[in-house]
C-alpha cells in the first residue's frame, strides 16, 4: 500500500500540473465558472490503482447521495423557501462588500472577551489515556454575536448553540504542543474522530489533543434537530456565513484558554467541513504553528452544485430568486479560504486529500494548494471516509510536524 500511495501522490501532482490552464484569477467568485467544473477529479493511473481509486469513489457517491437526500428533506425546505431567499437576497450586499476587501479581520473579529472555561468528565466511549493523562470536556458560554446586526436576534434564539464545547486530552505533567482537530459535517462524535484520525497515535507521540465541536453539532445541537449540523445549513444562506464566523470565533477563545494554561504551540487540522474551517483559520490566526486540512472543501456553493439530489433543488431555488452561481459565491466569499491570503508561510501549511474523494472532490484540494503557493500536499488512494494507506500519510504528517519544530 505504501507504493500505491506514492504512485497516487506523484501522478496526481503531475496531472494537476498539466491542468494549470484551468486555474481561476481573482476574484475567484466570478472566474471559477466554468473552470471549477472542468477542473479534473480523475488521475492518469495504472489500471490496478485506477480501479481502487474508482472503487472508493463509487462508495463516496453512494454516501453523498444519502447525505444529500437527508439534507434535501430536512434543511433545504427552510433555506430555499421563497421568503428566506428573498430576505437573504435583499441583505447580500452586507457580506459581499466585506468579501471585496479581502481582509479577514473585517469579518472574523478577534475576541476581546474573557470567558470562564468549565471542565466536565469525559463520556464512557471517549479516549482514556493510560499514562496518567487526563481526558475531559471543556465548555464556555460563547459571547459571539453575528457580524450582521440584522441576523443577531434570530441567531441568538438558537440557545443550545450558545455553549461552546471541546474535548481535551492532556498528559498532565506540563503544557505540551497541542494539536487541535475539527470534525466534519454530521461527524461530530469525539470517539469516532479519535479512531478515524488516529489521534491516540499522535497523543502517544507526546502531543496534547483538543477536539473542537463546530456550531450546531454534538452538544450544540438542539434536541428537536434531526442530526448534528442541521442548524448549520437550515436557516438560510446568510446564516451559513454567521455559523462559519462563530466557528472561528469560538475556536480562537479555546486558543486563548490553552495559552492561559501555558501552552506555547498550537496547530490545527480538520476534516471535510473541519478542513474548510482549518483553512480559514490559516488566513485569520497567526498564532497557529500550522494548518493541515484533510479532504477539505473550499467552495460550499460549488459543493452543493455537485451533490445529487441537492443540486437541482439548489439551482432551481436560486434561479427562482434571481441568484446565479457567481452571486451565490460572492455572497459566501466572506467566509471562503480562497478569498484571503494565508497568514502562515507555506512551509507551515499542508493538505491531505483522497484521489477517490467525491464528497469533497480533489478539485477543492487542488485549488487550495494553488492558492497556498503549492504548499506540502499528500494524496492517498481512498475516498472521503475510507483513507487507504493512512499509515503513510500519518507518518508524513508526523514528519511535517518535526520539520516545523512543532515537537519541541
Q: From the DSSP assignment, how many helices (H) and strands (E) are in the chain?
A: 18, 9
374-394 pLDDT, tens digit per residue, is: 999 999 887 777 777 788 889
Q: Is 208 part of a structural domain of the chain?
A: yes
Q: Tell me how far apart the alpha carbons of residues 123 and 135 are, in angstroms, rounded to a whole number.
A: 9
Higher per-residue confidence, 323 vs 281: 281
- Does residue 345 have a pLDDT over 70? yes
E strand or H helix at 136: strand 134-141
DSSP class of residue 109?
Answer: P
Given a cut of 70, is residue 181 above it in pLDDT? yes
Q: How many domains does the chain have?
A: 1
Strands of the 178-182 sheet, one edge to the other: 118-121, 134-141, 163-170, 208-212, 178-182, 266-271, 291-294, 350-354, 376-380
Q: What is the DSSP letter of 184?
A: B
Q: Distance between CA atoms of 66 and 315, rounded to whole angstroms?
A: 19
Q: Which domain holds residue 118?
A: 2-15+26-403
What's the mean pLDDT in 173-182? 96
Short-list 177, 171, 383, CA closest to 265:
177
| Averaged confidence pLDDT in the chain | 84
Grid cell of 50 as nine digits? 485506477
| Predicted pLDDT of residue 227 | 87
Residue 113 lies in a domain: yes
Residue written as grid cell 499514562: 131
**Is 408 domain-assigned?**
no
Tell me if the pTM is above 0.85: yes
Average pLDDT for 167-191? 94
Assigned domain for 20 exists:
no
What does the pLDDT average to over 132-157?
96
Query: Distance between CA 349 and CA 285 in Å, rounded?
Result: 13
302's grid cell:
460549488
Strand partners, 166: 138, 212
Classify burial at 97, counting beta carbons within 10 Å of its beta carbon; exposed 0-12, middle 13-18, buried 19 or more.
exposed
Residue 8 in any domain: the answer is yes
CATH code of residue 110: 3.40.50.1820
Residue with cell 468528565: 121
Q: Cα separation of 220 and 213, whole Å? A: 8
Q: Is residue 21 part of a domain?
A: no
Amino acid at each position: 500500500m505504501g507504493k500505491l500511495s506514492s504512485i497516487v501522490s506523484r501522478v496526481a501532482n503531475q496531472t494537476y500540473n498539466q491542468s494549470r490552464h484551468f486555474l481561476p484569477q481573482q476574484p475567484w467568485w466570478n472566474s471559477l465558472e466554468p473552470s471549477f467544473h472542468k477542473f479534473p477529479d480523475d488521475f492518469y493511473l495504472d489500471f490496478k490503482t485506477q480501479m481502487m481509486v474508482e472503487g472508493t469513489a463509487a462508495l463516496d457517491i453512494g454516501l453523498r447521495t444519502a447525505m444529500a437526500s437527508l439534507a434535501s428533506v430536512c434543511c433545504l425546505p427552510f433555506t430555499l423557501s421563497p421568503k428566506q431567499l428573498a430576505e437573504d437576497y435583499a441583505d447580500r450586499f452586507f457580506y459581499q462588500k466585506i468579501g471585496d476587501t479581502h481582509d479577514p479581520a473585517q469579518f472574523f473579529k478577534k475576541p476581546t472577551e474573557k470567558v470562564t472555561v468549565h471542565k466536565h468528565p469525559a463520556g464512557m466511549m471517549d479516549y482514556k489515556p493510560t499514562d496518567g493523562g487526563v481526558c475531559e470536556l471543556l465548555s464556555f458560554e460563547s459571547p459571539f454575536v453575528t457580524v450582521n446586526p440584522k441576523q443577531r436576534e434570530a441567531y441568538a434564539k438558537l440557545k443550545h448553540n450558545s455553549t461552546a464545547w471541546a474535548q481535551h486530552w492532556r498528559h498532565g505533567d506540563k503544557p505540551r504542543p497541542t494539536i487541535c482537530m475539527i470534525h466534519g459535517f454530521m461527524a461530530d462524535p469525539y470517539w469516532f474522530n479519535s479512531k478515524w484520525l488516529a489521534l491516540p497515535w499522535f497523543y502517544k507521540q507526546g502531543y496534547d489533543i483538543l477536539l473542537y465541536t463546530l456550531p450546531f453539532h454534538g452538544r450544540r445541537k438542539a434536541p428537536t434537530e434531526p442530526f448534528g449540523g442541521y442548524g448549520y445549513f437550515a436557516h438560510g444562506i446568510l446564516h451559513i456565513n454567521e455559523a462559519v464566523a462563530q466557528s472561528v470565533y469560538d475556536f480562537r477563545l479555546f486558543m486563548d484558554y490553552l495559552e492561559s494554561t501555558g501552552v506555547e504551540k498550537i496547530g490545527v487540522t480538520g476534516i471535510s467541513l473541519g478542513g474548510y474551517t482549518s483553512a480559514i483559520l490559516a488566513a485569520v490566526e497567526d498564532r497557529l504553528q500550522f494548518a493541515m486540512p484533510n479532504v477539505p472543501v473550499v467552495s460550499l456553493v460549488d459543493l452543493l452544485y455537485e451533490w445529487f439530489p441537492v443540486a437541482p433543488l439548489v439551482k432551481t431555488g436560486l434561479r427562482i430568486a434571481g441568484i446565479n452561481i457567481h452571486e451565490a459565491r460572492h455572497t459566501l466569499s466572506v467566509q471562503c479560504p480562497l478569498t484571503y491570503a494565508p497568514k502562515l508561510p507555506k512551509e507551515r501549511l499542508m493538505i491531505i486529500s483522497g484521489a477517490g474523494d467525491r464528497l469533497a472532490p480533489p478539485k477543492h484540494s487542488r485549488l487550495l494548494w494553488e492558492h497556498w503557493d503549492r504548499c506540502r500536499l499528500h494524496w492517498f488512494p481512498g475516498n472521503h471516509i475510507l483513507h487507504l494507506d493512512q499509515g503513510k500519510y500519518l507518518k508524513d504528517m508526523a514528519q511535517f510536524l518535526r520539520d516545523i519544530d512543532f515537537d519541541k
